[in-house]
């Protein structure tokens, strides 16, 4: 995504690198993440309005530690160093960084010493910040003055106003820093003098124009899963090129209740988009392939491989296409090690591996520069219904991994109905936006129960609801007991085959968000 106005984040391995970039974009300024290995010439060519250096796990004074050339601070571009980035700035410019006598971690009261005209405008004299460091700045570089301190950290922030260089020892990007958003806003909009013109309506408008120019009169093929990313991508392409787009929606019979019909109602013949829409109802094929399979990873592989087979069959009917569209988003790029320096978290299916079973000339990824919350905003801008835009996160293998043990049509019906009741009751209680993810799963435990005057031997449904920032860690949500009671009562009374309902309190770690 090209933009006239850009702030860049230089990544030194910090765990919050994506969060920093998101916070900059919340200031309506476009932002991208680059590794500290990015050459200074490339930085100059980008002509960023500002540069932010992230945290990192190293000590900047050790041999081999990530560093950057002193020239970065002599470009006349405002630079903000965060945590490791702050220490590195001091180290490179002639200050001193040492092992701290007292390590600071967690919420810390910080005292502002300097002027509040620039970085700390609107911040109280005493404010709470999030610290996480075992080194500290023992001496600031020449030309810098200390503008904040804590009880154990003499340099919580330092500034060289003349050169617009700022070093802060804490993390303003996390919510625990009370005035963190204001501090970043002061830097990005005030000190960097950006206009704040990065907005979703302009992104959608410009991207539609870019797609039309790139595609011309070519044909585009998209595997539409019904998830947020692929749905927003389909809507964007539909607005840009209409009937030149063919969407293949493989319904593997493992979607949530009514979900296949909902996707078709939006993108099918009766929907709002004039595209070629192909729905393949392949549930029986999947159930046959999954018969007798209980191991979760094996189920994942079977579901993924069968999707390729079905999609391949449909693609062959269409013939050669010019472009294959993929719903890659910015976290996919960063987490695959292509957009920063942090540890590669996963090898993402949307990044790097081009499918060899479809005859196409080029791949297009129009959402590649967006974070998930920005994808949702784009979806609303494109006129997609809220229930689709704010759909709960859903794994690719669908209910196949929310059913413990063998997958059967009967078990799919049970978990679909139970999950539908759970989601409905949370919505009616006004709680559907509170947990970050919630769903019903089907255990492979059967137990004796009594319903009416009859003895039963049926399944136990497990309810899961978690609150999380990044899905790397998660805590169970505290759903009000009366809501859980209502959900339990409805599931047992309305879903045949269930006589017990449980609520999973496990955090991640040691558990995972899904139950597989």
Cα–Cα distance for residue pair 140/137, rounded to 1 Å: 7
Q: Which residues contact 374 (CB under 8 A, 6 or more apart)?
A: 25, 200, 203
Tokens representing 368 are: 């590649």
SS3 327: coil
Annotated catalytic residue: which of 31, 83, 153, 192? 83
Contact present, 27 and 189 (Cβ < 8 Å):
yes
The catalytic position among 5, 27, 91, 171 is 171
Instruction: Scan for tokens 């081999």, then name that residue.
Output: 64
Taking the C-alpha atoms of residue 211 and residue 237, their distance in angstroms, rounded to an integer, is 7
The angle subtended at Cα 374 by Cα 372 and Cα 375, nearest 5°, is 65
Catalytic residue among 5, 173, 341, 374: 173
Token couple for 60 = 């900047």
CB contact set of 352 (below 8 Å; sequence gap of 6+): 336, 338
Query: 244, 216 in Cβ contact below 8 A?
Result: no
Letter string b/e over residues 302-341, b meaning 16 or more CB atoms within 10 A of that residue's CB: bbeebbeebbeebbeeeeebbbbbbbbbbbbbbbbbbbbb
Strand partners, 476: 466
> What pairing do the DSSP bridges indicate for beta strands 360-364 and 321-325?
parallel
Beta strands in 12-125 (DSSP E): 30-35, 50-53, 79-82, 96-112
A 10 A CB-CB count for 215 gives: 20
The phi, psi pair for 219, rounded to 5°, reads -105, 145
Q: Cβ–Cβ contacts within 10 Å for residue 137, how many?
A: 27
Residue closest to 20 by CA, chosen among 365, 10, 28, 209? 10
**Token pair 């990530």: residue:** 66
Q: Which residue has the tokens 């089907």?
A: 442
CB 246 within 8 A of CB 321: yes
Q: How distant is the alpha carbon of residue 43 from its chain centre?
A: 26
Instruction: Provide the pairing of β-strand 96-112 with 145-149.
Output: antiparallel
Backbone angles phi, psi at 280, to 5 degrees: -110, 110
Backbone angles phi, psi at 169, to 5 degrees: -80, -15
User: 109, 83 in Cβ contact below 8 A?
Assistant: no
381 is catalytic: no
- Contact between 235 and 192 under an 8 Å Cβ cutoff? The reply is no
Query: Is residue 176 annotated as part of the catalytic site, yes or no?
Result: no
Q: State yes or no: is 27 an active-site residue.
A: no
Active site residues: 83, 171, 173
């Amino acid at each position: 995504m090209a933009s006239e106005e850009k702030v860049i984040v230089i990544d030194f391995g910090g765990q919050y690198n994506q969060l920093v970039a998101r916070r900059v974009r919340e200031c309506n300024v476009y932002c991208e993440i680059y590794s500290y290995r990015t050459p200074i010439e490339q930085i100059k060519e980008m002509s960023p309005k500002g540069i932010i250096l992230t945290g990192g796990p190293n000590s900047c004074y050790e041999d081999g530690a990530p560093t950057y050339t002193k020239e970065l601070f002599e470009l006349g571009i405002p630079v903000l160093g965060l945590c490791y980035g702050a220490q590195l700035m001091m180290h490179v410019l002639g200050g001193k960084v040492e092992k701290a006598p007292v390590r600071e971690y967690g919420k810390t009261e910080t005292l502002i010493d300097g002027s509040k005209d620039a970085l700390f405008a609107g911040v109280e004299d005493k404010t709470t910040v999030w610290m996480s460091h075992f080194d500290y700045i023992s001496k600031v570089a020449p030309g810098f003055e200390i503008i904040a301190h804590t009880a154990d950290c003499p340099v919580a922030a330092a500034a060289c106003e003349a050169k617009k260089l700022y070093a802060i020892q804490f993390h303003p990007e996390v919510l625990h820093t009370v005035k963190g958003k204001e501090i970043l806003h002061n830097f990005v909009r005030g000190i960097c003098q950006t206009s704040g013109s990065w907005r979703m309506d302009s992104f959608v408008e410009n991207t539609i124009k870019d797609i039309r120019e790139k595609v011309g009169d070519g044909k585009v093929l998209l595997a539409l899963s019904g998830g947020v990313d692929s749905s927003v991508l389909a809507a964007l392409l539909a607005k840009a090129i209409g009937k030149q787009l063919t969407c293949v929606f493989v319904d593997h019979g493992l979607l949530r209740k009514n979900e296949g019909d909902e996707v078709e109602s939006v993108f099918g013949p009766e929907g709002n988009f004039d595209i070629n829409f192909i729905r393949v109802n392949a549930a029986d094929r999947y159930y046959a392939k999954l018969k007798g399979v209980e191991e979760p990873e094996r189920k994942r592989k079977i579901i993924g491989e069968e999707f390729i087979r079905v999609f391949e069959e449909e693609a062959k009917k269409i013939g050669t296409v010019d472009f294959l569209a993929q719903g890659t988003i910015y976290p996919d790029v960063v987490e695959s090690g292509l957009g920063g320096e942090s540890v590669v978290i996963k090898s993402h299916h949307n990044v790097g591996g081009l499918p060899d079973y479809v005859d196409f000339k080029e791949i297009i990824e129009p959402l590649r520069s967006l974070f998930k919350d920005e994808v949702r905003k784009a979806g609303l801008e494109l006129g997609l219904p809220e229930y689709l835009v704010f759909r709960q996160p859903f794994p690719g293998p669908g209910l196949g991994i929310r059913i413990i043990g063998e997958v059967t049509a009967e078990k799919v019906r049970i978990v679909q109905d139970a999950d539908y009741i759970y989601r409905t009751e949370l919505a009616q209680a006004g709680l559907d936006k509170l947990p970050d993810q919630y769903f019903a799963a089907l255990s492979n435990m059967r137990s004796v129960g009594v319903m009416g005057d009859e003895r039963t031997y049926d399944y136990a449904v497990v309810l899961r609801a978690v609150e999380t920032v990044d899905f790397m860690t998660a805590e169970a949500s505290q759903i009000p007991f009366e809501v859980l009671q209502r959900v339990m009562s409805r599931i047992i009374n309305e879903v045949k085959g269930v006589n017990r309902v449980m609520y999973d309190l496990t955090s991640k770690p040691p558990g995972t968000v899904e139950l597989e």
